């Protein structure tokens, strides 16, 4: 992979790319003043959007001529202009993808000839990088990455009154008159539940808590189902 991939469009056809800078993630602290205490008390912190700067080198691999170079530039402009945000893959980490990305700044081409180059800046509104999706059918497995991930579950219910998935002391329980064979989908990030594709959030018990999975060893338990799968993306800072 010699260039960036933005919204599924690989710019390798027109340009090679070099990562200039991916700024380390600072933390924006939330604090409060405590009488008699020097400074301030840290209450919590949050991650702001991340900035990634990329240097693009015009590199078509052939002599495109004046009109061809103009077509290349307009192809790059079109590929990078997305007002609704999108995804980004960088050449130094091709297995990872950033989401909710917008190209927010761009310099000038150094030349409109074949040796032209220029810098663009992407704002990563979601600062975490996502690996490939994994699906596990067991109850114990390892989760890589360096940040908790939100799983989705698919359970095939047996005849009974409820299905449940648990991680330690937290769980999501769906109470319903199951005949057996219904497919129950649980989306922990979106806090959504479906039964055979139909919204079933009304059947989630009040004590339920949609949970994330931490990196490292993961152990889950399932009840009220004949089979189950757990899907997730490993996430990295």
CATH for 203: 2.60.120.860
Q: Does pLDDT of 65 surpass 90?
A: no
Q: Does pLDDT of 73 surpass 70?
A: yes
Q: Which 8-state DSSP code applies to residue 12?
A: G
Domain that holds residue 29: 5-127
Q: Indicate whether 115 and 138 sit together in one domain.
A: no
Q: Indicate whether 65 and 149 sit together in one domain.
A: no
Spatial neighbors of 231 by CB under 8 A, at least 6 apart, are: 133, 134, 135, 136, 151, 152, 153, 154
Closest CA to 118 of 99, 96, 102, 103: 103
Helix ranges, the chain (H): 65-80
Q: Does pLDDT of 64 surpass 80?
A: no
Q: Indicate whether 52 and 141 sit together in one domain.
A: no
Report pTM. 0.83
Last residue of a domain, one of 91, 110, 127: 127
Q: Indicate whether 146 and 57 sit together in one domain.
A: no
Q: Indicate whether 117 and 18 sit together in one domain.
A: yes
Q: Provide the domain count of the chain.
A: 2
Q: Indicate whether 91 and 76 sit together in one domain.
A: yes
pLDDT score of 213: 97
Least confident of 75-89, 110-124, 208-222: 110-124
Q: How confident is the model at residue 171 (pLDDT cuts 50, 70, 90)?
A: very high
pLDDT score of 61: 67
Q: How confident is the model at residue 62 (pLDDT cuts 50, 70, 90)?
A: low
Last residue of a domain, one of 111, 127, 143: 127
Q: How confident is the model at residue 138 (pLDDT cuts 50, 70, 90)?
A: very high
Mean pLDDT of 170-181: 97
């Amino acid at each position: 992979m010699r260039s960036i991939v933005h919204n599924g469009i690989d710019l390798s056809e027109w340009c090679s790319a070099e990562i200039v800078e991916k700024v380390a993630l600072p933390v924006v602290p939330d604090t409060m003043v405590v009488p008699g205490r020097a400074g301030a008390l840290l209450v919590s912190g949050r991650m702001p959007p991340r900035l990634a700067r990329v240097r693009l080198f015009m590199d078509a691999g052939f002599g495109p001529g004046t009109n061809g170079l103009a077509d290349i530039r307009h192809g790059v402009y079109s590929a990078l202009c997305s007002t609704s945000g999108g995804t980004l893959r960088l050449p130094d980490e091709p297995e990872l993808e950033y989401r909710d990305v917008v190209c927010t700044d761009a310099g000038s081409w150094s030349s409109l000839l074949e040796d032209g180059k220029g810098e663009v800046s992407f704002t990563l509104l979601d600062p975490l990088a996502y690996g490939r999706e994994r699906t596990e059918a067991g109850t114990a497995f390892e989760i890589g990455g360096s940040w908790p991930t939100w799983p989705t579950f698919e359970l095939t219910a047996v005849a009974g009154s409820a299905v449940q998935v648990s991680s330690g002391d937290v769980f999501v329980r769906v109470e319903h008159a199951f005949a057996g064979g219904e497919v129950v989908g649980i989306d922990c990030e979106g806090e959504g539940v479906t039964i055979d594709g139909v919204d079933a959030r009304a059947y989630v018990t009040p004590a339920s808590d949609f949970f994330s999975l931490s990196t490292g060893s993961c152990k889950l338990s399932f009840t009220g189902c004949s089979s189950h799968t757990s899907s997730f993306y490993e996430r990295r800072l």
